[in-house]
Amino acid sequence: MPARINPSILSADFVNFERDFGSIANADLIHVDVMDNNFVPNLTFGLPMVSRMQEITPRPLDVHLMISGVDKWARGYAEAGVFSVTFHAEAAENPVGIARELRSIGARAGLALKPGTDLEQYLDILHEFDQLLIMTVEPGFGGQALIEHTLGKVSQAKRKIDQEKLDIWLQVDGGIDETNIERVAKLGADTFVAGSAVFKAIDRAAQIEHLRNLANAAISHRH
């Protein structure tokens, strides 16, 4: 499976999203971080902004909800027509119910885990999801360093996916850059969120291409 690079617009210019979308036109998907200053100690934007982005985006939107109350709020993002909606297990009362609702509306459903949350308890519901997001930093801010111990969950998830032949993308988010993407790809990740590593580059499209090439080379050497 070829690697996907999803630039996170948390590192974009918040009053020039449309212009910045143009600078990442070769992204596989555009990662959109919704934060409510409750589930995480930071605030970005909500459904009205994401709906407008959906109207102008050149690439599919990969929405990452870092909000409380997802049992109520997640469906609106799917109704706006985004490609995927990922919510946090820690914020959900009924994760399977939300996943089924998202899929029935036509969005891909994603389950996200904070660094301190065990994967074990969710292994048996992974088949209800289209993507699993292992947070490799504490959610809330861009530009943090990858937390090494989170990578154990990437290997653990990859084993489960292979054993059960699950049709699910394995995504990592936080601190991914050109120094570590090959290592993380080798462990099993196939979908890489990169915020600062893309937006700090002078040529963002070239940086996306570079990250994708590094990940693809590592994936082809996995076995």
Using the contact rule CB under 6 A, the part of the chain among 20-28, 74-82, 167-175, 206-214 near ligand DX5 is: 167-175
Per-residue three-class SS string for 198-211: HHCCCCHHHHHHHH
Annotated catalytic residue, options 20, 28, 62, 173: 173
Torsion region of 193: left, alpha or beta (phi above 0 gives left; psi -120 to 50 gives alpha): beta
CB of 65 to ligand DX5, least distance (A): 10
Under the binding rule (CB under 5 A), the answer on residue 33 touching Zn ion is yes
As given in the structure block, the two tokens for residue 136 are: 């490799």
| Continuous segment of H or E residues that includes residue 175 | none
Residue type, 157: A
Supply angle C-alpha 139, 3, 209, rounded to 5. 95
Torsion region of 165: left, alpha or beta (phi above 0 gives left; psi -120 to 50 gives alpha): left
Under the binding rule (CB under 6 A), the answer on residue 62 touching ligand DX5 is no
| Residue written as token pair 């084993």 | 159
To the query of whether residue 162 is one of the catalytic residues in this protein, the response is: no
Given Zn ion, ligand DX5, none, residue 137, with its beta carbon under 5 to 8 Å by kind, binds ligand DX5
To the query of whether residue 173 is one of the catalytic residues in this protein, the response is: yes
Residue among 20, 28, 36, 173 that touches ligand DX5 (CB under 6 A): 173
Under the binding rule (CB under 6 A), the answer on residue 175 touching ligand DX5 is yes
Annotated catalytic residue, options 20, 28, 33, 130: 33
Q: How many residues bind ligand DX5 (CB under 6 A)?
A: 22
Binding residues for ligand DX5, rule: CB under 6 A, are 8, 10-11, 31, 33, 64, 137, 139-144, 173-176, 193-197
